[in-house]
Amino acid sequence: MKVEIWFEFASTYSYLTVCRAPALLEEAGVDFLWRPFLLGPIFRDRGMETSPFVTDGLRGAYMWRDMERRAAHFGLPFARPGTFPANGLQAARVMTAALQEPWCGAFARDVFAAQFARGQDISDVAVLREVLAGQGGDADHWLARSQQDDTKAALRQATDRARELGIFGAPSFVVGDDMFWDDDRLEDAIGWAQGTPH
- Which pLDDT tens digits describe the chain residue by residue (198 residues)? 999 999 999 999 999 999 999 999 999 999 999 999 999 999 999 998 889 999 999 999 999 999 999 999 999 999 999 999 999 999 999 999 999 999 999 999 999 999 999 999 999 999 999 999 998 879 999 999 999 999 999 999 999 999 999 999 999 999 999 999 999 999 999 999 999 876
Distance CA 161, CA 166 (A): 9
Segment 101-106 long-range contacts (CB within 8 Å, at least 24 positions apart): 101/137, 103/135, 103/136, 103/137, 104/34, 105/18, 105/22, 105/34, 106/135
Asked if the 3-194 domain carries CATH number 3.40.30.10, the reply is yes
The C-alpha torsion from 91 through 94 and 97 to 102, rounded to 10°, is: -100
pLDDT at 136: 81
Domain ranges of the chain: 3-194
